[in-house]
Amino acid sequence: MKQEISQTSYIHKIHQLVHLAEINFLVCQKVYKDYLNEKGRHENTFFVLTANNAFNESLSVLQTLICSTEKNDLKIKPALEKVIENDKTSLVPVDPKIESQFTESITKDYPYLGESTFYGYKSFLLQANEPDNHLGAVMADIRRKKRVESGLADFQELKTKFEKFSFHKIRHHQVGHKHQDLKEPAGSADLLFQDSYIDNLGEIIKDLKIKTYFWFDFSFGNPNYSMLDSLDEVLKKS
C-alpha cells in the first residue's frame, strides 16, 4: 500500500508540473501575441521580462520532466514505466481503427477538449446498443492500451522533438545571460524571442498534454487558466 500511495503522489506532482509548464507558456504566448507584437510595445520592459521569464520557467519545467538525469527530480519516464507494468495484465481488446480515430480527434480538437467535446465522440466510440454511460470506460480502455503498446516509444518521440528544437541554446543565452549581442548582461528585458521559438514551445506543450492524457489519464483542464483573464485585463489597461 505504501508503494502505491507513493506512486500516486509522484504522478500527482508530475500533473502539477505539467499545469505549471502550460500556464507559463500561455502567459508568455498571450503577452507576445496580444501586446508585444504591436509596434513600440516592446519598450515596456516589464512585459518583456514577464513574458521571457514565463517562457524560461516553462522550459525549465519541461527540461526536468522530459530530460533530467538527476536522481531526485520528478521525471515522466520512470513513472510511465511503472504505470505500463501495472496495466499490462488489465488490457481489453480495442478496435485499432477506433483507437486511431480517437487519437486523431483529440489532436484535431485540442485545446477545446471539455466534456461536451468528448461526448461528441460517442458516434464512433460506442456501438448502437451501448448506453452513453459506457463512454468513459471505452476511452479508459483505449488510453490503457495505447500507453502499454506505445507509451515508451511516444515518450522518446516527445523527448527527441524537444531536443530537436534546441531550447538548450536559449537557456544558455538568456538564463545564463551570456549572449554577447545583448545590450546589457541581464538581457532578458531587452531581447524578444523569435516567433518560431514560441510556436515550437507551444507544439511541445500540446504534445505533452495529449500524451500525458493517455499515459496518466490527466485531464485537459488547468486550475490556473483564470490567470489568463487577469492578465488580459492588465494588458488592456496598458
The pLDDT of residue 179 is 62
Instruction: Return averaged pLDDT per consecutive 10 residues of the chain, 238 residues in all.
Output: 70 98 97 85 86 93 96 96 95 93 97 95 93 95 97 98 87 60 63 89 98 97 96 90
The pLDDT of residue 45 is 85
The pLDDT of residue 166 is 86
Tell how far CA 71 is from the center of its chain: 22
The pLDDT of residue 137 is 95
